[in-house]
Structure 1
């Protein structure tokens, strides 16, 4: 490749973010095909099923991953009621979170009402969690092309996963949580970019009460968050943020 700098083209090497097809099968049934980064695919499969279909005991499932040149297959087996699950015929791209819906009521109907109760968080603790997440974004530092999603737990512990797709990164972090047998529930979902409806829906199904993003929240994300009793914290940086949703018993301005 070439770089353009100081009015000259310079030949150089660079690293690109990995992107390829991932076919997810559950109990032999093809569920969906995703465009995603090919790292941490067990977590992607587990998180996608948890966030989109049903929760389960990870000790009761088996997951195998087969890699091809530009494609991968994630095959899950376990106590799943796949006959009643909706499959997707089209590829879910890295920017698509609602490709299977064609009407707003159908989209909002997939969200749950969050009832999780945790100790009240002060805004500085969430802002500090973003710094911890940033220090764990190795893929972004190497390529500049990966999104990150993190979970903030009690005691300020942060877990982070990356993917070329925002919603895939969320699936991966949910999958990592499920597979870790973590005893504490996550307090906050952290996003390195913007927050759309699809991510609010995933958080609601996983009973996460707060979503914090460095970027903006969309209008549909705000609508879904209000319907799901989720607090959205957007544009969180430099001691400032825009907050949509309940503050009481969730977050406070200072220690």
Structure 2
């Protein structure tokens, strides 16, 4: 489902205009408010759940709900699906979504019957045991990898596509973003759980594989949303707000990469950063390479550089006479600083992120470079700093001069 297919706010009860009084002006004006209605979900004629939801994309909602609850393994297992206004059935407000499934699936559903009636699509209300609230999640097997810049681009594309959100300022959204395609699908609802169910249903009904893209949310991330995203098979879940501690634990166990507080100037990766090229072993390897290069630059015996360092003397016996590195050692420091700057610039892309990247590089140099290495790079910058990237040079400018 493409963005152009998202229904306008006024469609099918998505929003309604009301007149309200403005204070302190005292004038009357109209505002669009998001729609909310009871939605009854039935399977083979048996009522299963009544959810409060925004009454748009209800076929997607019902399909996604059935998938998330494990009632059916795929959209094809729904033999039929019909959305009916309650008024047409002799009732009052709301809708009924009638689904028919195979008898074996229905028998399994009866065996674990739930009485679920929750406000705005809560994913846990009505569960009959604590174990049911924390079920084992099949691990995410998708092998797709992404960059941090792609995660940020995915989230950035969400808000402009939110028709209900822009009209009412009250809608949650869930979207699916794919490299090369951008935002492939987006669904909105008053409830964040519902929005993700609608997205899952839309993808399943369209035959889209979620294993090669990023699920993006406008909300905080609770454990139910991690469970839903993992069942969807998405390798990355990114949100504008923070996750709960339990959501992080669930994402870690499921092999799901979880990014939160995603903004234009950065984000926070809580689990499985390797999928974004930011794993801790890579960071440790970088530090080991730095230490090895530093040892090579300084020399391990008395045959080091002499008389070829910066002003104040060169290496002699591996020591740092007066704080200067030889030409080869200085070149290694420059190369190392540029590699570190490239690493952190990838986490803070674009001109707006350069200051944050420089700060991160400076913190890294302060934490992991020996004082004589910092003195060497500071002296090099003081002499002109040719060859340092802008981020690396800005980072060095932030360094304090180490004590001799």
The answer to whether TM tops 0.5 is yes
Q: Distance in 2 between matches of 1:186 and 1:161?
A: 19
Question: How much does 1:151 deviate?
Answer: 1.0
Question: How much does 1:132 deviate?
Answer: 1.9
Deviations 1:172-207 (A, max 9, x none): 000000111225634211001111111111112122
For 1:152-231, what aligned pairs fall within 5 Å after superposition? Answer: 152-158=177-183, 159-182=185-208, 185-231=211-257
Which position in structure 1 is the counterpart of 2:326?
Answer: none
Which position in structure 2 is the counterpart of 1:65?
Answer: 83
Q: Distance in 1 between matches of 2:50 and 2:269?
A: 34
User: Which consecutive unaligned segments of at least 5 residues does structure 2 have?
Assistant: 1-18, 87-91, 279-343, 350-404
- Count of aligned pairs between the two proteins: 253
Question: How much does 1:59 deviate?
Answer: 7.8
Q: Retained in 2: the 8 A contact 1:187–1:209?
A: yes
Q: TM-score of the superposition, structure 1-length normalised?
A: 0.90
Q: Retained in 2: the 8 A contact 1:3–1:9?
A: yes
Q: Retained in 1: the 8 A contact 2:82–2:98?
A: yes
Structure 1 or 2: more strand by fraction: 1
Q: Distance in 1 between matches of 2:82 and 2:49?
A: 16
Q: Retained in 1: the 8 A contact 2:78–2:99?
A: no
Which position in structure 1 is the counterpart of 2:377?
Answer: none
Q: Distance in 1 between matches of 2:179 and 2:268?
A: 23
Structure 2 residue aligned with 1:249, among 250, 275, 281? 275
Structure 1 or 2: more helix by fraction: 2
- Larger Cα Rg: Structure 1 or Structure 2? 2
For 1:72-151, what aligned pairs fall within 5 Å after superposition? Answer: 72-79=95-102, 81-85=105-109, 86-94=112-120, 96-101=122-127, 105-118=131-144, 120-151=145-176
RCO higher in 1 or 2 (8 Å CA, sep ≥ 6)? 1
Q: CA RMSD in A?
A: 2.2
Which position in structure 2 is the counterpart of 1:46?
Answer: 63
CA distance 1:144–1:20, change in 2 (3 Å): same
Deviations 1:104-124 (A, max 9, x none): 544222422212111x21111
- 1:84 is paired with a residue whose SS is helix
Q: Retained in 1: the 8 A contact 2:52–2:119?
A: yes
Q: Retained in 1: the 8 A contact 2:210–2:233?
A: no
For 1:16-55, what aligned pairs fall within 5 Å after superposition? Answer: 16-53=33-70, 54-55=72-73
Q: TM-score of the superposition, structure 2-length normalised?
A: 0.58
User: Which consecutive unaligned segments of at least 5 residues does structure 1 have?
Assistant: none
Question: How much does 1:55 deviate?
Answer: 1.9
Q: Distance in 2 between matches of 1:154 and 1:58?
A: 27
Question: How much does 1:103 deviate?
Answer: 5.8
- 1:236 is paired with a residue whose SS is strand
- 1:241 is paired with a residue whose SS is strand
Question: How much does 1:30 deviate?
Answer: 1.8
Question: How much does 1:143 deviate?
Answer: 1.0
Deviations 1:29-85 (A, max 9, x none): 222111101000000011111111132243863210011352100011233602212
Q: Retained in 1: the 8 A contact 2:257–2:275?
A: no
Q: Distance in 2 between matches of 1:248 and 1:230?
A: 11
Q: Distance in 2 between matches of 1:72 and 1:111?
A: 31
